[in-house]
Structures are given as structure tokens and as C-alpha cells.
Structure 1
Amino acid sequence: MNFPFYIARRYLFSKKSTHAINVISIISVVGVAVATVALVIVMSAFNGFHDLVASLFTNFDPQIEVSPAMGKTAPSDDPILTRIRQLPEIDVATECVEDNALAVYQDKQAMVVIKGVDENFAELTHITEILYGDGEFGLRAANLNYGTLGIMLAQTLGTGARWRGPLRVYAPVKEGQIDLSDPARGFVIDSLDSPGVVFQVKQSKYDARYIIVPISWARVLFEQQGMLSSLELRLKPGSDLSDVKAEIKQIAGDKYKVRDRYEQQDDTFKIMSIEKLFAYIFLTFILVVACFNIVGSLSMLILDKKEDAVTLRNLGATDRQVTQIFLFEGRMIAVIGAVAGILIGLLLCWLQQTYGIVHLGNSDGSFIVNAYPISVHYTDIALIFITVIAVGWLAVWYPVRALSKRLLSV
């Protein structure tokens, strides 16, 4: 057995001449453990919110979106897009035309995003799972064109899930100049009927602005016949997303952007990642402060074991071995605190996941979920363990070497 480690282990669990050393050692372990618990819980909470937001976007965003790298639209019969549609891993491919417009209902109006989609849009996404109302999702019926509004947009316009009378949509003409004597001629105007439902993604980006319409209607409104804003894809079950995405990128070249769901919501997930990073940094600073307790404990232990150090030197121990005894002592405190903190943190995360102990609000329905979401990522646990050990070891290295030299020089 390693001699310095053997002696350090005996010092850790043996009684000291001064009881305060034992107390400070326990406080050191508790301090490291509490900081570790905080890291586990906070990072798991950020993971929980990240996964929650990702699940919300899943209901609306396609698995893969192919959009023009330059400009807003591209020809729908582009050979590159045809090759992508024909890939064996593609299950559903939907053309989309998307642009801004003005929606007017009775005396209310709002700037909206018109999203024109194919009839197979419900197969592409989980839109049917987020509908509210007494109707059903549809795009056309006979000569009627339906528009499905986001729930917040329906509240803004005062339409409700089912409205009476037309919802008028205005889009500026693409070519020519506006005649100031007749400004209405500068807009393409069309109307939508109600399918009797609204959708709720639970993200204001969609709920407050989007209207889902037939792509043929959107092409007429925006004067984009034969064009598309994006090709949205759903893969067959069992397909590897990263492999298919890489293959599509190779086909698309520089002409098209190929994005998965996370890249489609790049801004949202970047902000969440930055918040998680800052939380990790701040809690690591707290961990550093907690590790100063280890330095205090080791300082008292070195003074307490001064005579033992002299005895060990007389028995043949080198100065380096004596120094390593106290280094191992500090490192063991850090390891015990890290392991205890991680275990307690995982237990608390499991309790929150299972029973939802900490609630977001006092009443049900006020938030998307009633309790704080928790998601344990074991890569984070490994990072936390490495961080605690690294901080603990670095915190004791210089003080122990300095104190040991002073002790051994006497």
C-alpha cells in the first residue's frame, strides 16, 4: 500500500488531540458536499428546462428543414430538392411557403407569419396533438381555405377557435409601385375561413404570430407560384438523424441550409446553454470558497501532527512523503465530499422527478408544468465530479506544500 496514503487515511478517521480539528474536517466535507449538491441540482434543472422546450418545439418543427442559403425562396422543382425527397430514409416531405402579412378581423389587426403547407403537414409534425376547439385540423374544404391560428393570436384578433365572417390577410405586392391615391392596390388581399380549432405550442414565437394555411393559397397571396421557402422532412423510424442530415448536406452543397430542430431554434437553445454555463461558473466559485475549509482543517492538522512528522522522518520518511500525507488528506476530504454530494444530489433529483416536490406556482395550470423539470445528464455528473476533485486538489496543493516546508524546516 502507498505509505503516504495509508498514513493520511489513518489521520482522517482517527481522533485528534484537539477536537476542533475533527469538527473542521467534518465541516470541510459538508461544505464540499453542499456545493456539489447545488451543482448537480442546478445543472439538472437547466437540462430539464432544455428538454421541456425541445419537446414543445417537436410538435411544430420538422426533424430536418432545408431552406435556401440565399434569398427567401427557391424553385420547388429544383433537382437538388428532388434528390433529397427521393432519399430512402425520407418518410414525409412537405413544401412550405412562409412570409409576413397583416391579418384583420373586424376592427382588430395584427402582424402575422403566414405558413403555407401541404396536405401532409399533420403527418410531418404533431400538430394534431396541440389543437384546441370543437373542429379538426384541415387546410381546405370545397372552395374554402382554412387558417389555423396560434391561440395567443386568436386572442389578439378576438376570433376565438371558430370565427364568423372572413379573416382578411394583406400582403404587399412584389412588383410595381404603390399608388398613393389607391393604397389598397399595393396589396394582395385574400380571406380565410375557420376550421374551428387553434393550436398551442406554448411558445409565444408561434402562438402569438403564426397562421397555418394551404400552400396554394399562400403562393397566390405572396405571388410565389412554383416556389417554396423550405422543404420540411420527417425521417422513417429507425433512421439515424445525424447520418441523414450529413447526406442531405452533401447533396445540398452551398445552395441550401440543412438544419435539425435544435438548429432551427438556435437562438433559444444558445441562450439556455449560456445561462447553464454561467450557473456552472458561479457555483464553481462557491465550491472554491467551500474548499478553503479544507485548507483550515489541514493547517490545524499539520500543527497537531508536528511531532508525528518528526518521528516519521526519523524512521526514514522523506520530506516529500510527509508532504504527500497531508496532500492525500486534503484530497480524500474533496473526494468524500464530491461522492457524498453527487449521491445526495441524484437522490434529490429523483425525488423531484418522481414526486414534483418543488412546485413552480401555487395553482395548477399557471405554468406549462406544475413542478420544476429535472433531467440528469451523466456527462454533467462526470463534469461535476472532475470539477470538484480538481478544485479540491488545487486548493490544498500550495497551502500544504508551504506549511509542510515550514514545519519540516524546524
Structure 2
Amino acid sequence: MNVPLLIAQRYFLSKKKRNIITIISNISMVGVAVGTAALIIVLSVFNGLEDLVRSLYGKSDPDLVITARTGKSFPVNTLLLNKVQNAPGVALLTEVIEDNALLQYHDRQMVVKMRGLSGNYFGQIPVDSNLVAGDHRLQRGDEEFALVGQGVQQELGITLDNRLAPLHLLYPHQEPGRKTLSFNPDKAFNEENIVAGGVFRIEQHLDDSYLFVPLSFAQRLLGYGPRRTAFYVHVGKSFKLSAVQADLRERLGPSFTVLDSDEQHVSLLKAIKIEKLFVFITFAFILLIASLNIFFSLSMLVIDKKKDIAVLQAIGATEKLIREAFLLVGAIVALVGAVAGLVFGVAICWVQQTFHLVKMGMATSVIDSYPVKMQPLDIFFISLAIISITLGVSIRPALNAGRMQIRENL
């Protein structure tokens, strides 16, 4: 028989007239329930946002990206290509040249990110499924075409397949062996024209600033020659991504970085995780404030039950037994509130996941409603926080109860 638990249940369930102790206990339970539900809901929203970021960038991100550790480009030769292509798990290798360029269309102009891609890029990334208009192919026979982000197209008013008004791209011309630009206006820029063949909509950052072109076009305009800014690697389905990544890092050595999708956007994902951590700490403090009512209700309960404690001591109850009984009273109050909050929070998250009731309220948003994703690890840490806070606020009243003297209270 667990005597401390029986005493705690008796004090918690006793049906006396409603007094201040009962009111404070009920406030404690409500506070813990609200704090627990709020933590579950807010953390689930952050999980949903993290998954949303991954899904948005996943539409245009390759499995692995290989770049130079220093500098923005690296020389490519047959030996390097074979070293990467012959690695186990590498299904496709796309050569990439990416740099800023000035885009002019009629009397409008803007600086864009131009990404030159070898022909097998769309075997890695299904950009055609995110096509708004036109054709996703960058080359049709001998003719070259550009794939334009929707934001760029709207900003410049670009029309597709208009050979009379092609896109005009300029890039600063640099004389061989010189770090400064030419002072001759006729030679200050490399210039190339290309027809817009399609418009894509993937993610706002890409849509508003990117232009996809054939690799050969980027080579001519930027003057990169045999140099590349990156390799995009598509990993075979039967291979583990982390194993292929580790193998490529070993093959290429310290001169190259090999990044998976999360590492390509590490700053953004880290910002979400840090914000999630600070939100957790903030709501944990709110839970602590709500749990202070447990401290007050237990302290008042100890004073109210002085005679009961003295009787228990007289019949042989130890200081440890009394202390455990009052700790369990606090634990029961917190447990009832935590379970109620857990059920309420999970229910709200499920409703949002299923019916998408709470909308983002922004016309430009890529999704209509707030994304929500519950994770067992969050529930574990919330439970750990509640247990820690409950023990912290219950220890002092429990110690006071155990130290009471029989003579003073009988």
C-alpha cells in the first residue's frame, strides 16, 4: 500500500466546502493546462514552418551540392568529373555556373541571379511541375532559351518566345591578367541575348531574382571557360544520402564542401530552431509563474492540515512519508492540468492539420493556413519542464510539512 499516495489523493479529492485553497488549486490546474496547450501549439507551428521551408527549397534543391571551400569557382577537368561521377550512389551530375548579371528588357532593367545549367538538370529537379507558362527546356534543337522566375517576369513585363524582343544580359568584362574593369565603354561588358521560353514559380526568393539558362550561354556571357561554381549531385534511391556525402567528402578532400539540403540553408533553419528554443523558454517561464499557485496552495494546505500532520506523526508517520504525501499533492494538481492541456493542445493541432481553420491572412503566402506538425520529442521536453517546475515549487511546502512538531499542533 502506497500510504503517501493515498493521503495525497484524499487531500486532492476531499469534498469540503469550497475555500481559498480549492480556488487556488483550480487556478493552478487551469494555468498549467493553458501553458501546456500553448507550448504544444506554438512548437508544432514552428515544426510546421521548418517543414514548409524544407519543402519549398526541396523543389529546387539537389540532393547534394559540391562547391569550392575558398573562392566562388573551381577549375573542372576530366579527372575531377570522373572522381565525382564514379562515386557509388551518384546517379546524375549537373555542372553549374551561377553569378549576378544585369538583365535588360525594353526600357527596364534589374540585377538577377543567373544560373547556367547543363542539360541533365531537370533530371534532378522537376522544375517543369512548377512551370507557370511556356516550356521548361533550356535548349530546343540549336536554339537557347531562358527560364524566368515569375517575380522577374512580372517586374520587367517579359513576354515568352518573343524573338523580336529577347532578354539582353550584361556582365562586367575583365581583361586577362587584370583585376580591374576595362575603361573602354565598348569593352566594359560582355553582352548576350536570349529568348524567354518559360516562367517558373517555386519559392519567392527564387521567383523574384533567378534566371535559368543553358551552361554554354553562361560560359559565353560570364567568361568562366572550364570553371564552375558548383556541381549538383542526384543520389540514387537505393543509396543512403549521408553515406554518399561522406564518400564524396573523402574523395574530394578539404578543397571542396559537400552539402545536403539542410546544410544549403543552414542559416534559415538555424534561425527557426533558435526562435523555437526561445519561445520554449518563454512559455516555460509562463508555466513557472502559473505553477507558483501550486506553491501557495500547498503552503496553505500545510497550515490547514497541521492537526492531521500531528496525528499522522503520533501514529508513526515519518518525516519522509509526510513530505512525499504533500509532494504528491502538488504532482497530482500539475498532472491533471498537464494532461488536460496536452489533450487540448493535441486536439487543436489535429483540427488545424485536418481542416486548416486558421488562415495565414496574406495574399502573397505560398500556403493558405498555418502549417502544424506535432513531434513526440516536443511533448517529452514539455513534460520534463512541467515535472521540473512542479518539483521545484512543491519542495518547500513539503519540507515544512515534514518538519512540524507534534506538541505544537495537537
Equivalent runs, 1:363-378 vs 2, <5 Å: 366-378=364-376
Of 181, 184, 192, which aligns to 2:194?
192
1:403 positional shift: 5.8
Give distance in 2, aligned partners of 1:184 and 1:44. 58
Give distance in 2, aligned partners of 1:407 and 1:381. 42
Residue 203 of structure 1 corresponds to which residue in structure 2? 204
Equivalent runs, 1:150-299 vs 2, <5 Å: 150-161=149-160, 163=162, 164-175=164-175, 176=178, 177-180=180-183, 182-195=184-197, 197-204=198-205, 206-299=206-299
Question: Any idea what SS the aligned residue of 1:193 has?
Answer: strand
Is the 8 Å Cα contact of residues 80 and 251 (structure 1) preserved in structure 2?
A: no
1:172 positional shift: 1.3
Q: What's the CA shift string for 1:327-362, capped at 9, x where partnerless?
A: 111122222222221222111100000011211228
Q: Provide the aligned length of Structure 1 versus Structure 2.
A: 404
Residue 379 of structure 1 corresponds to which residue in structure 2? 377
Is the 8 Å Cα contact of residues 90 and 236 (structure 2) preserved in structure 1?
A: yes
Partner amino acid for 1:227?
R
The alignment status of 1:41 with 2:50, answered yes or no, reads: no
Partner amino acid for 1:191?
N
Change (3 A) 1:143 1:81: closer
Runs ≥4 in structure 1, deviation > 4 angstroms? Answer: 160-164, 406-409
Change (3 A) 1:408 1:370: farther
Residue 131 of structure 2 corresponds to which residue in structure 1? 131
With the length of structure 2 as denominator, give the TM-score of the two structures: 0.93
Is the 8 Å Cα contact of residues 66 and 256 (structure 2) preserved in structure 1?
A: yes
Question: Any idea what SS the aligned residue of 2:357 has?
Answer: coil
Q: What's the CA shift string for 1:300-344, capped at 9, x where partnerless?
A: 211221111001100111122212211111122222222221222
1:80 positional shift: 4.5
Change (3 A) 1:137 1:252: same
Question: Any idea what SS the aligned residue of 1:57 has?
Answer: helix
1:214 positional shift: 0.5
Give distance in 2, aligned partners of 1:409 and 1:54. 68
Is the 8 Å Cα contact of residues 15 and 22 (structure 1) preserved in structure 2?
A: no
Give distance in 1, aligned partners of 2:191 and 2:407. 92
Give distance in 1, aligned partners of 2:119 and 2:3. 75
Give distance in 2, aligned partners of 1:342 and 1:111. 50
Residue 313 of structure 1 corresponds to which residue in structure 2? 313
The alignment status of 1:351 with 2:324, answered yes or no, reads: no
Residue 55 of structure 1 corresponds to which residue in structure 2? 55
Structure 1 unaligned regions, length at least 5:
none
Equivalent runs, 1:112-131 vs 2, <5 Å: 112-131=112-131
Q: What's the CA shift string for 1:83-115, capped at 9, x where partnerless?
A: 222223122211111111111111111111110
Structure 2 unaligned regions, length at least 5:
none
Change (3 A) 1:213 1:349: same
1:395 positional shift: 2.1
1:6 positional shift: 2.5
1:179 positional shift: 4.2
1:276 positional shift: 1.1
With the length of structure 1 as denominator, give the TM-score of the two structures: 0.93
Partner amino acid for 1:92?
L
Change (3 A) 1:40 1:306: same
Is the 8 Å Cα contact of residues 360 and 370 (structure 1) preserved in structure 2?
A: yes
Q: What's the CA shift string for 1:186-230, capped at 9, x where partnerless?
A: 2111111111x21112222x1111110001111121111222111
Residue 390 of structure 1 corresponds to which residue in structure 2? 388
Give distance in 2, aligned partners of 1:379 and 1:190. 54
Equivalent runs, 1:82-101 vs 2, <5 Å: 82-101=82-101
Change (3 A) 1:334 1:227: same
Percent identity of equivalent pairs: 34
Q: What's the CA shift string for 1:148-190, capped at 9, x where partnerless?
A: 111111122221455551211111123345443x323021111
Change (3 A) 1:407 1:85: farther
